[in-house]
């Protein structure tokens, strides 16, 4: 209860003159009471500021905590929480003013150093963040959430095995801790797979059914698994707790876009309120939606923004190239991607679009060169491209022994790093040592099993003559990531090698039907499998589609020639196409067999 000056005045008048001897005593009592009330007010304001922080209101927290300071609360007691209030407002300069000196009360020191560590991470100063966490750890060594934060810092800094150790320690301290279960689920998702991570998220949700960060991770994982109904239910739970949560609307927009409901996706993305405008996922989705709506210029601008954040994002490059092409800016297209198409790993899609740009400008020779590159089937031996790494640059220069030494040094300095393990494996594979590569890849896979690593591990198994292990690995990966198109392509190849034409055809047909209808290599593979399985009419359709997309493709000419060879009325076209394919591909086994069949047919 507070006692204002107006209340005091009314009390004095009520006593009247007959009570004047008591006035001095009353004044003394009221002064003492007001002092105690001020102390209580400061504590109350401090508690209210903490409550404002708990509900995410940094501005209200700042007002109440500063008022508590004005009431006389020590600066050291308030510093950590005022720092938190400014962090919540993303006012990092003021947050550093309160957190940087590390002058916290003993009661708030652990939290203060944790907040300082977060601020250092925002500024990109990971060693300083680690030092701040060390000071917090010295105060509260058995805090499970603190160990989770340390684990996340280690993961971000490339200390992946140490991050896993931190997560395990957090769970040992508190097996029911929601943040520890969430982080463990994320780590399991990286190294084992999507399906294996679900029980971890579900265990956390049993403890806290309305935990929004955990629900977001759960919903995103369900979406990647293709469980659209379950994902939608999870996002609705998020919105029930937080009706304006931008991540929930973004996930729903992704779901709608995958279903081809582009207008719905645009509406849902608009409901994020611009809070995700600078995040890569939202930028890519919005650029795709603009293309679908017939706004290529807007799509191009969004893709450029994304490439400013992630210059190496291949998907953003492809969307940008398509947007520029659709807007009719052919000369700009050829200039914008002039450097990218010189790279040895330039995608066939990008090469084809730039070639079409040259074609529209009348530069048919240059267009033909790029189409030839796009059409060339990638059967070259494994190579490491520079990609910004010292090891890659050395390999590109042909300095393989120097690259090997550099990779080994990196591995010694960062033994728990995914990048160090996988790059060392790349060097061994490039040098023709698949068994050594596989050991390093396995170590990397215990941290993160990406699609890219899957492909390289399959290459290593095949290089070592162990196709059976390669097939088992692909099947295991598909068990965890059933929507992985790369794994499905590998599985189709394994099925074909095992003579299971029916399964190979089913997989390739599914891929062509769900977004692969412009993939020349996929369509030609499908045509060849259909030919082998006796589905000649379907083979002709698949091969014709591939050839329409890329007439300069040797593999497309080969597939169409082989398909036409099954039709008596198209034998002349078949012969011409097979000759064209032989000039581009050389005398392949398929072409030789086709010529023998046609010769026998002609003689008969």
Residues 423 and 410 sit within 8 Å (Cβ to Cβ) = yes
Domain that holds residue 585: 530-604
b or e along 245-282 (b: 16 or more beta carbons within 10 Å of the residue's beta carbon)? bbbbbbbbbbbbbeeeebeebbebbeebeeebeebbeb
- Cα 403 from chain centroid (whole Å): 29
| 75-98 pLDDT, tens digit each | 999 999 999 999 999 999 999 999
In a domain, 385, yes or no: no
Q: How far is CA 480 from CA 205, 233, 475, 483, 488, in A?
A: 21, 21, 9, 9, 12
398: exposed, middle or buried (Cβ count in 10 Å: 0-12, 13-18, 19+): exposed
In a domain, 192, yes or no: no
Q: What is the pTM of this model?
A: 0.84
Given this model, what pLDDT does residue 12 score?
36
In a domain, 253, yes or no: no
With CA atoms as reference, report the closest residue to 543 among 530, 558, 516, 524: 524
In a domain, 394, yes or no: no
Over pLDDT 90: what percentage of the chain?
70
Q: Provide the Cα torsion 183, 189, 190, 193; round to 10°.
A: 170
Confidence of residue 337 (pLDDT cuts 50, 70, 90): very high
Given this model, what pLDDT does residue 384 score?
54
Between 517 and 444, residue with greater pLDDT? 444
Is 604's pLDDT higher than 70?
no
d(CA 230, CA 220): 10
d(CA 165, CA 170): 9
Given this model, what pLDDT does residue 388 score?
54
| 426-453 pLDDT, tens digit each | 999 989 999 999 999 999 999 999 999 9
In a domain, 572, yes or no: yes
Given this model, what pLDDT does residue 31 score?
40
Per the document, the length of the chain is 604
If you average pLDDT over every residue of the chain, what do you get? 88
With CA atoms as reference, report the closest residue to 490 among 504, 480, 500, 501: 504
In a domain, 546, yes or no: yes
Residues 450 and 484 sit within 8 Å (Cβ to Cβ) = no
With CA atoms as reference, report the closest residue to 333 among 377, 303, 290: 303
Question: Count of domains in the chain?
Answer: 1
Question: What angle separates helix 485-497 from helix 451-463, to the nearest 10 degrees?
Answer: 20
In this prediction, residues 220-240 reach a mean pLDDT of 96
In this prediction, residues 512-537 reach a mean pLDDT of 90
Between 8 and 485, residue with greater pLDDT? 485
In a domain, 565, yes or no: yes
| 118-162 pLDDT, tens digit each | 999 999 999 999 999 999 999 999 999 999 999 999 999 999 999
In a domain, 560, yes or no: yes
Confidence of residue 18 (pLDDT cuts 50, 70, 90): very low
Q: SS3 of 439, please?
A: helix
């Amino acid at each position: 209860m507070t006692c204002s000056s107006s209340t005091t005045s009314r009390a004095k008048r009520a006593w009247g003159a007959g009570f004047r001897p008591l006035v001095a005593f009353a004044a003394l009592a009221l002064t003492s009471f007001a002092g105690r009330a001020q102390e209580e007010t400061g504590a109350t304001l401090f508690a209210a500021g903490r409550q404002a922080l708990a509900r995410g209101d940094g501005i209200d927290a700042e007002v109440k905590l500063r008022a508590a300071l004005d009431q006389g609360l020590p600066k050291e007691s308030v510093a950590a929480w005022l720092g938190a209030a400014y962090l919540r407002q993303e006012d990092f300069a003021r947050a550093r003013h309160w957190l940087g000196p590390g002058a916290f009360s003993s009661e708030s020191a652990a939290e203060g150093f944790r907040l300082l560590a977060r601020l250092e991470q925002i500024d990109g100063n990971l060693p300083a963040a680690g030092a701040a966490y060390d000071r917090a750890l010295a105060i509260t060594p058995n805090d499970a959430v603190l160990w989770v934060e340390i684990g996340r810092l280690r993961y971000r800094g490339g200390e992946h095995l140490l991050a896993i150790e931190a997560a395990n320690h957090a769970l040992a301290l508190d097996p029911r801790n929601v943040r520890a279960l969430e982080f463990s689920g994320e780590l399991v998702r990286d190294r084992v797979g999507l399906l294996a991570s679900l029980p971890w998220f579900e265990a956390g949700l049993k403890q806290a059914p309305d935990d929004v960060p955990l629900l977001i991770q759960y919903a995103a994982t369900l979406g990647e698994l293709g469980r659209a109904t379950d994902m939608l239910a999870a996002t609705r739970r998020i919105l029930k707790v937080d009706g304006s949560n931008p991540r929930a609307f973004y996930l729903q927009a992704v779901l709608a876009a995958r279903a081809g409901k582009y207008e719905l996706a645009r509406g849902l993305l608009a409901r994020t309120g611009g809070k995700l405008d600078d995040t890569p996922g939202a930028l890519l989705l919005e650029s795709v939606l603009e293309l679908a709506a017939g706004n290529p210029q807007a799509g191009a601008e969004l893709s450029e923004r994304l490439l400013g954040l992630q210059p190496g994002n291949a998907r953003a490059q492809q969307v940008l190239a398509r947007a520029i092409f659709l807007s009719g800016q052919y000369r700009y297209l050829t200039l914008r991607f002039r450097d990218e198409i010189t790279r040895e790993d330039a995608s066939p899609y990008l090469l084809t679009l730039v070639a079409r740009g040259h074609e529209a400008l009348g530069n048919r020779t240059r267009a033909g060169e790029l189409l030839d590159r796009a059409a060339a089937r990638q059967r070259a031996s494994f190579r490491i491209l520079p990609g910004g790494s010292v090891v890659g640059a050395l390999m590109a220069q042909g300095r393989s022994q120097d690259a090997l030494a550099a990779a080994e040094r990196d591995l010694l300095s960062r033994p728990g790093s995914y990048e160090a393990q996988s790059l060392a494996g790349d060097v061994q594979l490039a040098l023709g040592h698949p068994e050594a590569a596989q050991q390093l890849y396995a170590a990397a896979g215990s941290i993160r099993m990406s699609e890219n690593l899957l492909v390289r591990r399959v290459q290593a198994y095949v290089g070592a003559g162990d196709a059976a292990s390669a097939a088992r690995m692909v099947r295991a990966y598909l068990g965890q990531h059933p929507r992985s198109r790369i794994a499905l392509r590998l599985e189709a190849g394994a099925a074909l090698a095992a003579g299971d034409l029916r399964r190979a055809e089913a997989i390739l047909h599914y891929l062509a039907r769900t977004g692969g209808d412009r993939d020349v290599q996929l369509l030609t593979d499908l045509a060849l499998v259909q030919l082998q399985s006796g589905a000649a009419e379907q083979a002709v359709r698949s091969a014709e589609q591939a050839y329409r997309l890329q007439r300069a493709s040797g593999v497309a000419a080969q597939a169409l020639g082989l398909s036409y060879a099954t039709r008596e009325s198209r034998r002349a076209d078949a012969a011409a196409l097979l000759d064209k394919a032989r000039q581009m591909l050389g005398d392949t086994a398929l072409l030789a067999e086709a010529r023998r069949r046609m010769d026998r047919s002609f003689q008969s």
